[in-house]
Amino acid sequence: MSDFYTHFRKHQYTTVLLVFLLLTDVVFFSVLLDVLYQYIPVLQVVPRETYVLLSAILALCWVLSNILVSSYQVPRLGTPQKIIESAVRAGLVYAALILFFLSLIDLKQGVFLNGEYIVVLFLFTLLPTTLFRCLMLFFYRFYRNLSFNHTPVVIIGCTDQGRRLYRFFVNTASLPHKFMGFFDSKMPVDPDMASAYKGDLEEVKEYCLQNNIKEIYYTLSNNKTYLAELADFADKHFIYLGIVPDMSGMEFINNRRLDTQLYDDGKIPVLSSRNVPLRLMINAHVKRAFDIVFSTIVLSILCVTVFPVIAIAIKMESRGPVFFSQLRPGKFNHLFWCYKFRTMTAAPHNEEQQATRNDNRITKVGAFLRKTSLDELPQFFNVLKGDMSVVGPRPNMVSQLDYYSQEIREYPLRHLITPGITGYAQVSGYRGETKEMHMMQKRVQYDLWYIENWTFLFDLKIIARTVTNIIKGEENAY
So what's the pLDDT on residue 85?
81
Q: Are 216 and 240 within 8 A, CB to CB? A: yes
* C-alpha pair distances (Å), 376 with each of 306, 335, 338, 419: 13, 18, 9, 13
pLDDT of residue 169 exceeding 90, the answer is no
Between CA 433 and CA 475 the distance in angstroms is 11
- Does residue 115 carry a pLDDT above 60? no
Say yes or no: 407 and 366 in one domain. yes
362: which strand partners?
Answer: 344
Q: How is residue 150 annotated by DSSP?
A: -
- Residue-level pLDDT at 103: 67
**Is the pLDDT at 207 greater than 80, yes or no?**
yes
Q: What is the pLDDT of residue 14?
A: 47
Task: Write the DSSP symbol of residue 45.
Answer: T
Separation of alpha carbons 64 and 84, rounded Å: 17
Q: What mean pLDDT is predicted for residues 357-383?
A: 86
Give the pLDDT of residue 204. 93
Query: Looking at residue 415, what is its pLDDT?
Result: 92
DSSP annotation of 362: B
β partners of residue 178: 152
Picking from 66-75, 111-120, 124-133, 227-236, which range would have the lowest pLDDT averaged per residue? 111-120
Same domain for 360 and 382: yes
Q: What's the whole-model pTM score?
A: 0.61
137-175 burial, b for 16+ CB within 10 Å, e for fewer?
A: beebeeebeeeeebbebbbbbbbebbbbbbebbeebebb
Mean pLDDT calculated for residue range 246-255: 57
Rounded distance between C-alpha atoms, residue 83 and residue 140, angstroms: 14
Domain stops at, among 128, 144, 160: 144
Q: Is the pLDDT of residue 5 over 50?
A: no
Q: What is the mean pLDDT of residues 102-126?
A: 60
pLDDT over 70 at 342, yes or no: yes
Position with higher pLDDT, 424 vs 478: 424
The one-letter code for the residue type at 30 is S
Whether residue 280 lies inside any domain: the answer is no
Q: Band of the pLDDT at 120, cuts 50, 70, 90?
A: low
Res. 109 pLDDT band, cuts 50 70 90 = very low
CATH classification at residue 237? 3.40.50.720
Both 133 and 163 in one domain: the answer is no
The span from the first CA to the last CA of the chain, in angstroms, equals 45
Query: Does residue 199 sit within a domain?
Result: yes
- Cβ contact 2:9 at 8 Å: no
Beta carbons within 8 Å of 134's beta carbon, 6+ residues apart: 80, 83, 84
Please indicate, yes or no, whether residues 347 and 447 belong to a single structural domain of this protein.
yes
Q: Residue 283: inside a domain, yes or no? A: no
DSSP state of 394: P
Do 138 and 160 belong to one domain? no
Helices (H) and strands (E) in the chain, counts: 17, 11
Please tell me the predicted confidence (pLDDT) of residue 386.
Answer: 94
d(CA 321, CA 342): 7
- Cα(218)–Cα(476) distance, rounded to whole angstroms? 45
E-strand spans in 202-330? 215-218, 240-243, 259-263, 268-272, 323-329
Residue 421 has phi, psi (to 5 degrees) of: -70, -40
CA angle 109, 110, 112 (to 5 degrees): 130
Percent of the chain with pLDDT over 90: 28
The pLDDT value recorded for residue 257 is: 66
pLDDT in tens, 15-50: 555 666 777 777 877 787 778 778 777 667 667 777
Residue 477 belongs to a domain: no
Q: What pLDDT shows up at residue 112?
A: 46
400 shares its domain with 449: yes
Q: Measure the CA–CA gap between 390 and 432, rounded to whole angstroms.
A: 18
Q: Sorting pLDDT into bands at 50, 70 and 90, what band is 430?
A: confident
pLDDT(3) > 50: no
Confidence bin at 113 (pLDDT 50/70/90): very low
Judgement on whether residues 425 and 439 belong to the same structural domain of the protein: yes
Q: What is the pLDDT of residue 218?
A: 93
The count of structural domains within the chain is 3
On whether the CB atoms of residues 33 and 94 are closer than 8 A, the answer is no
Across 86-115, average pLDDT: 67
> At which of 110, 144, 178 does a domain end?
144
Of 11-20, 296-305, 344-353, the one with minimum mean pLDDT is 11-20
pLDDT digits (tens, 9 = 90+) for 233-243: 998 888 989 88
- Round to whole Å and give the CA distance between 263 and 14: 12
400 in the same domain as 362: yes
Residue 256 and residue 366 in one domain: no
478 falls within a domain: no
Q: In this structure, is residue 281 part of a structural domain? A: no
Q: Which residues pair with 177 in a beta bridge?
A: 151
Residue 6 predicted with pLDDT over 60: no
Question: With 70 as the cut, is the pLDDT of residue 410 above it?
Answer: yes
Which pLDDT band holds residue 105 (cuts at 50, 70, 90)? low
Taking the C-alpha atoms of residue 224 and residue 232, their distance in angstroms, rounded to an integer, is 12
Domain of 333 in residue numbering reads as 288-472
Q: Domain check: are 266 and 303 in the same one?
A: no
301 assigned to some structural domain: yes
On whether both 156 and 302 belong to a single domain, the answer is no
Mean per-residue pLDDT, 226-238 = 90
Last residue of a domain, one of 275, 305, 332: 275
What is the helix (H) or strand (E) element at residue 270, kind and residue range? Answer: strand 268-272
Q: According to the model, what pLDDT value does residue 110 have?
A: 46
Residues near 472 by Cβ (< 8 Å), separated by ≥ 6? Answer: none
Q: Name the average pLDDT for the chain.
A: 80
User: Phi first, then psi: what are they for 112, rounded to 5°?
Assistant: -80, -5
Tell me if 10 is assigned to some domain: yes
| Average pLDDT estimate for 381-404 | 92
Range of weakest confidence among 132-136, 352-356, 405-409: 352-356
Does one domain contain both 252 and 335?
no
User: Range with the lowest mean pLDDT among 185-194, 299-308, 406-415?
Assistant: 185-194
* Identity of the amino acid at 132: F
Query: What is the spatial distance between Cα 311 and Cα 314, in angstroms, rounded to a whole number?
Result: 5
